[in-house]
């Protein structure tokens, strides 16, 4: 049977290992570092539970308050027709906003950043935006007014129509310039 070198070394020097005896102070220090036992009374548990409940209630009311300030409120007792018109307005807002932004980007590209064109467009759209803000305030006061909702959607249509007309004119002028100055390849 073959023995491991470590095992052989320990057997040969066993007497040397038994000579060293730990100091009594070492055992005292080991006893002092024992983990402390934390005792919780029913009062501390009750305080912690109450704190959790307060945090939960506060977060609920904060969330409710944030939702109330960010969404158009449908009044209780309003019928589904009014709710449908509010939903239609929200869908129109998403639809027209994306198309308006795309048209603005295309106009900027086609105009080459011409400040005069951009300034005129921003002026026209700014006037329409002021009207839109007034309509939005009217809607907050009376959200079941379908005429206000229709006027807001019409405002979006008008903005998009203006931008499409400008785009048409820019594209038309670009085609005319290309026809006047044809570039021939050799």
pLDDT tens, the chain, 186 aa long = 567 888 889 888 888 877 777 777 877 777 676 677 778 889 989 999 999 999 999 988 888 877 766 544 444 445 566 677 778 888 888 888 888 888 888 888 887 777 788 888 888 888 888 888 888 888 777 766 778 888 888 888 898 888 888 888 888 887 777 777 665 554
When divided into structural domains, the chain yields a total of: 1
In a domain, 98, yes or no: yes
Residue 5: its H or E element: helix 5-12
Q: Note the residue count of the chain.
A: 186
Please tell me the predicted confidence (pLDDT) of residue 181: 64
In a domain, 28, yes or no: no
Please tell me the predicted confidence (pLDDT) of residue 106: 84
Which pTM does this prediction carry?
A: 0.50
In a domain, 147, yes or no: yes
Please tell me the predicted confidence (pLDDT) of residue 115: 79
In a domain, 109, yes or no: yes
Alpha-carbon distance of 164 to 157, in angstroms, equals: 10
CA angle 160, 115, 94 (to 5 degrees): 25
Please tell me the predicted confidence (pLDDT) of residue 57: 92
Instruction: Return the percent helix, strand and coil in the chain, to nearest 5.
Output: 80, 0, 20
Please tell me the predicted confidence (pLDDT) of residue 27: 74
Please tell me the predicted confidence (pLDDT) of residue 152: 85
Please tell me the predicted confidence (pLDDT) of residue 71: 45
The crossing angle, in degrees rounded to 10, of helices 80-111 and 146-180 is 20
In a domain, 53, yes or no: no
Domain range for 136 is 78-180
């Amino acid at each position: 049977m073959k023995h491991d070198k470590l095992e052989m070394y320990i057997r040969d020097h066993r007497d040397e290992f038994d000579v060293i005896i730990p100091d009594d102070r070492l055992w005292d220090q080991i006893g002092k570092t024992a983990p402390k036992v934390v005792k919780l009374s029913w009062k501390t548990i009750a305080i912690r539970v109450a704190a959790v409940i307060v945090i939960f209630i506060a977060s609920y009311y904060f969330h409710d308050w944030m939702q109330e300030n960010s969404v158009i409120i449908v009044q209780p007792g309003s019928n589904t027709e009014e709710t449908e018109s509010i939903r239609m307005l929200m869908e129109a807002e998403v639809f027209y906003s994306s198309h308006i932004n795309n048209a603005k980007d295309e106009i900027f590209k086609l105009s080459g950043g011409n400040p005069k064109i951009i300034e005129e467009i921003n002026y026209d759209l700014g006037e329409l935006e002021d009207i839109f803000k007034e309509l939005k305030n009217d809607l907050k006061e009376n959200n079941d007014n379908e005429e206000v909702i229709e006027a807001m959607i019409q405002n979006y249509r008008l903005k998009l129509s203006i931008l499409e007309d400008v785009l048409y004119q820019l594209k038309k002028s670009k085609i005319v310039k290309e026809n006047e100055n044809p570039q021939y390849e050799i």
